[in-house]
Chain A
Amino acid sequence: MSLNSYIVDAGFHELTLDLSTSTDFKLQSQKNVSADVLVHLVGKGSANLEVTLEKDSKLNLFYLNTAEEAQLNESYILNKDSQLDLAYGDFNDGSCDRNSDVYLVENGASVYLKSASLVKSERRLVYRFNHQAQYTYGDMQNFVVTLEKGKLSLHAIGKIEKNAANSETHQTSRVLNFNATERASVFPQLFIDNNEVKASHAESSGQVDPDQLYYLQSRGLSPEESVSLIVKGYLSSILENIKNDEIKERLMESIERKVDEVCSR
């Protein structure tokens, strides 16, 4: 049982969280500081993650999930004018149960969440934005690809409380199914307790578009290569906010490797 606690200073940090040995993980950013953190999730087990963003700080946090089995309870506290860019890359074969709460507790806080999941087993994801102050902003984009025995339930929740006037909460969830039997279930929910706000949600779900496949094939790509290209494109949207080119390359390569492994049948 070990406690990992970090105060993040400016610049780039790469950390590994081994779920087999750790149960708690704390991250704290500093006032006015901008930092990028890449966390590798490995092992098997559960953990509680607590991340606090101090006033005016910016944190770009990317979780690369390669754990065998993960149960994660995450909470993010965002103070005044802080900005959290949160990205989840779940490309592991194992199951994952994640409950993630972002609390925008002071004015001007904002969160941009992007998640990409390649689902081969059971996955339950709950992402919740809690707007508890004015002028807070939340945008959530979820990209899911389900394969063979994959089973996913995704709860995308935006909650704007009474005192959170002039806030916005938006979400988009897209699911690509390769799975004839099980379908991913997406549950978008918006709880709005103030009238001077903006909120939206959009979902789409389906097979790979046959017209897209035909178009790619008409340029010489085989059906497998076409599907692979579409899936990689889908999942790599989460890399858009990564400024460090070397990291972006590395993550792109691991996405491509994983997709090739899974799509070449």
Chain B
Amino acid sequence: MNTLEIKNLHVSIDNKPILKGVDLVVNEKEVHALMGPNGNGKSTLLAAIMGHPKYEVTEGTVTLNGENVLEMEVNERAKAGLFLGMQYPQEINGVTISDFMKAALNTRSEKPIPLFTFIRSLDSAIKKLEMKSEMAHRYVNEGFSGGEKKRNEIMQMMLLKPKFAMLDEIDSGLDVDAIKVVAKVLNEQIESSNMGTLIVSHYDRFYQMVQPTHAHVLIDGKIVISGGRELATKVDEQGYDWLQNELGIEIKEEKTEVVRNAVGSLGTCAVKELSDVTQ
């Protein structure tokens, strides 16, 4: 059985502590809902597990089937079976979805994947997500709407078949029909490949379609309460305020806007360094 174990995880960014001791165990086939007010560490947890260079782990461990994930490079973590559906997926001009996925699949096997098999898998995934088949030949996320970018993340998950999928607000930017399609695909994959998932979302609407087996609330960098399905419903109905009284804690909600897209070319009369990413 596959197990992702996070123990006493402390993560900082620019020396500022964000996660202050997170403990979490996700087993295969389980669906963990991760909730909490904005700015309290949910995205940080997922990004730190995936290995985003901006985040510094100051204490604690993350293991996948007993293997130390924190010692692995980002690409090794992916090959070990971790997947992150990002909140702000990158646009990559010049690289088609097809080339990207083919390269990602080929790096996992000794022999290159037969072209016909690959095209069939890609087309099938695109169809299941009710996206246009031309999408395979478009540059990764370039000119995609928010909803298309999110569905593209799920499409990649379908092809790469990870052991654990971490989804960061995969439902934001999707209309009701798209959410239904994504939920259906997710449930099918959990069933067929025993995938474990860690889902960050605020909306009960999504949790109604992808039923969590476990739910956690992350406040100020720590999981303050865990429960089952009913916890997700309670948060949706009552928000997070009731936790202040019940647990005697103070809740701070941060509103931060981080722009992640680096513009490749601008309008007229200006030159910009592509290395300026965050504003």
Whether B265 and A217, one on each chain, are in contact in the complex, defined by CB atoms closer than 8 angstroms, is no
Of B120-128, B182-190, B267-275, the one touching chain A:
B267-275
The distance from the CB of B200 to the nearest CB of chain A, in whole angstroms, is 16
Q: A223-239 CB contact bits vs B (8 Å, 1 = yes)?
A: 10110011011111100
Q: Knowing A206-B274, A209-B274, A220-B108 touch, does A201 contact B268 (C-beta < 8 A)? A: yes
Q: A1-25 CB contact bits vs B (8 Å, 1 = yes)?
A: 0000000000000000000000000
Query: How far, in whole Å, are A202 and B275 apart by their CA atoms in the complex?
Result: 17
Whether B160 and A204, one on each chain, are in contact in the complex, defined by CB atoms closer than 8 angstroms, is no
The distance from the CB of A224 to the nearest CB of chain B, in whole angstroms, is 10
B74 within 8 A of A: yes
* Most chain A beta carbons < 10 A, residue from B94, B160, B263: B94
Residue of A nearest to B264 (CB): A204
What are the residues of chain A within 8 A of B86 when measuring CB–CB? Answer: 215, 218
**How many chain A residues have a CB neighbour from B under 8 Å?**
35
What are the residues of chain A within 8 A of B100 when measuring CB–CB? Answer: 216, 219, 229
Whether A221 and B75, one on each chain, are in contact in the complex, defined by CB atoms closer than 8 angstroms, is yes
What are the residues of chain A within 8 A of B274 when measuring CB–CB? Answer: 204-207, 209
Q: Knowing A209-B277, A215-B89, A220-B104 touch, does A204 contact B271 (C-beta < 8 A)? A: yes
Q: B44-65 CB contact bits vs A (8 Å, 1 = yes)?
A: 0000001111000000000000
The distance from the CB of A168 to the nearest CB of chain B, in whole angstroms, is 14
The distance from the CB of A211 to the nearest CB of chain B, in whole angstroms, is 5
Q: Knowing A207-B275, A233-B99 touch, does A216 contact B92 (C-beta < 8 A)? A: yes
What are the residues of chain A within 8 A of B53 when measuring CB–CB? Answer: 210, 214
Q: B76-102 CB contact bits vs A (8 Å, 1 = yes)?
A: 011100011010011011111001100
Query: How far, in whole Å, are A226 and B275 apart by their CA atoms in the complex?
Result: 16
Interface residues of A in 78-108 (CB under 8 A from B): none
Interface residues of B in 144-173 (CB under 8 A from A): 156, 160
Query: How far, in whole Å, are A207 and B276 apart by their CA atoms in the complex?
Result: 10
The distance from the CB of A183 to the nearest CB of chain B, in whole angstroms, is 11
What are the residues of chain B within 8 A of A172 when measuring CB–CB? Answer: 265
CB < 8 Å neighbour of A203 from B51, B89, B260, B265:
B265
Whether B73 and A204, one on each chain, are in contact in the complex, defined by CB atoms closer than 8 angstroms, is no
A32 within 8 A of B: no
Query: How far, in whole Å, are A200 and B269 apart by their CA atoms in the complex?
Result: 9
What are the residues of chain B within 8 A of A220 when measuring CB–CB? Answer: 75, 78-79, 104, 107-108, 160
Instruction: Sample 26 A-B pairs with CB under 8 A, ordered by A number.
Output: A186-B271, A201-B269, A202-B268, A203-B265, A204-B263, A204-B264, A205-B271, A206-B273, A206-B274, A207-B275, A211-B90, A211-B260, A212-B262, A216-B92, A218-B75, A219-B75, A219-B78, A219-B104, A221-B104, A221-B107, A226-B75, A229-B99, A230-B95, A233-B94, A233-B95, A234-B94
Listed in ascending order, the chain A residues whose CB lies under 8 Å from chain B are 172, 174, 186, 200-207, 209-212, 214-223, 225-226, 229-230, 232-237
